[in-house]
Structure 1
Amino acid sequence: MVPRPRERAEQICFLLEDEGAHVLAIPLLELEPPTDPRPLQAAAELLRRFAWVAFASERGVTALVEATRTAGTLDLLRTRKLAAVGPGTAAALDAHGLEATLVASVSSGEGLAEALLPRLQPAEVVLLPAAEEGRRSIEEGLRAAGVTVERVAAYRSRPAGSAPEGWAEVVAHPPRCVLFGSPRTVEAFLGLPGAGALVPGLRAVAVGPTTAAALRAQGWEPAAIATSPTPPEWVEAAVRAVEG
């Protein structure tokens, strides 16, 4: 099971199917604009203030690009130094004609903060377009070192509902494993009716250490953790989970 709409997980689904898997793509989260979009738009309009923009997700990239298009500052965004939490986020930048200056070698908020710190010059300000309800590890790591960070809500996520389309099939015919791409997805899955009864027979695959920690916090030990948050590595982890 891939808890995303298929159009947002096509490569993962295709790679899993190449391995002989039957893939259930069931979106558990809906992504929406932030409750108050004004701070994001203001940041896009005042983009010149920021030397760096740090992206913790692909959706954060899309949201800021859309805001800069509205503000007429997309060309200015191309001149900023852009930091990506991992290869997937760097690929999202590339899809918009933007190049990542820095890609964290450890794909987590802590890893991105650690990678950024040696690259920052005194008085440089970092813009962080992030999920409204997202973790604070990037800004906390940077601020602890005296860096000025402006975090703006770029989007928010909410559970897709108590019975998303396809969930009845999951309950009736549980899959061998579930791929989790974020702590928020773990929460959404476990909040669905009947999910708790499925857990003992399911193998959880985490996209990285942060998601693995979220699973463990719920008493669910991951069967495998992707070595990097890319579709091939995620699929390789799923194969290990099933074969192990």
Structure 2
Amino acid sequence: AQRGLMAEELPGHFQAEGLLEAFGPRLQPGQKVLLPRGDLAREWLADKLRELGLEVTEVDTYETVVTGEDDIELLKLLEEKRIHAVTFTSSSTVRNFIGILQRMGLKDPLPLLAGVKIACIGPVTEQTAVEAGLTPGLLPGEATIEGLVQELCRWNESTRLK
């Protein structure tokens, strides 16, 4: 809005499926769609739009980069059970986190995460976490960073009361 662009529609839930649901009735074959996205985004939305006969131009607007550095402090904190929750904001964060732990020498990082609350931003990320062998325990009602933070705050407050 600050740059003069006004949203016509906001999805009911913040993932590709929600965006398609929000615009679905107004989409007509032949329409042109610009789809800015991250380099690792799912192809689902672009594929569905093309199935509906739309001309889709995909533009990678950011690149997901895995740090090249090992974080020995992270391992120490996990081993000492001083990390109580890990948040995942996308499927790539799940895969990259597990991959980094493996790169640091953990053949199976899952036991190190036992007892750590796994928070996922939305159902797609949650499914990726499950496929990686994690057991997600927090999922916000709204798949946004704000929703994830609020869910973490509720969980933190409930655990402090016990």
Match of 2:94 in 1: 186
- Among 114, 137, 144, the alignment partner of 1:223 is 137
1:158 counterpart SS class: coil
Aligned to 2:59: 152
Change (3 A) 1:166 1:126: farther
**Which amino acid in 1 is paired with 2:120?**
A
TM-score w.r.t. the length of structure 1 is 0.55
Which amino acid in the other structure matches residue 112 of structure 2? Answer: L
> Structure 2 length as normaliser, TM-score?
0.79
Q: What percent of counterpart residues are identical? A: 28
State the distance in 2 between where 1:95 and 1:184 align: 30
Question: Which amino acid letter does the alignment assign opposite residue 142 of structure 2?
Answer: S
1:143 to 43, 50, 56: 50
| Inter-partner Cα distance in structure 2 for 1:161 and 1:223 | 29
Q: 2:117 aligns with which of 200, 203, 221?
A: 203
The amino acid across from 2:55 in the alignment is T
Higher RCO (CA-CA < 8 Å; seq separation 6+): 1
Q: Is the 8 A contact 1:183 1:215 kept in 2?
A: yes
Deviation at residue 99 of structure 1 after TM alignment: 2.0
User: What residue identity is the alignment partner of 2:38?
Assistant: A
CA deviation vs aligned residue, 1:102-152 (integer Å, no higher than 9, x gap):
111121112212222212244210011222222111111212222221112
Q: Residues 145 and 121 (structure 1 numbering): CA distance in 2 closer, same or farther, change over 3 Å?
A: closer
Count of aligned pairs between the two proteins: 151
Q: Does 1:103 align with 2:17?
A: no
Asked if 1:167 is matched to 2:74, the reply is: yes
Residues in 1 aligned to 2:37 and 2:70: alpha-carbon distance in whole angstroms: 27
AA at the equivalent of 2:46: E
8 Å Cα contact 2:30-2:54 kept in structure 1: yes
CA distance, structure 1, for counterparts of residue 130 and residue 155 of structure 2: 16
Residue 102 to residue 158, structure 1, CA distance change in 2 (3 Å)? same
CA displacement at 1:153 relative to structure 2: 2.2
Q: Residue type of the partner of 2:96? A: A
Task: Say which SS state the counterpart of residue 130 (structure 1) adopts.
Answer: strand
**In angstroms, what is the RMSD of aligned CA positions?**
2.4
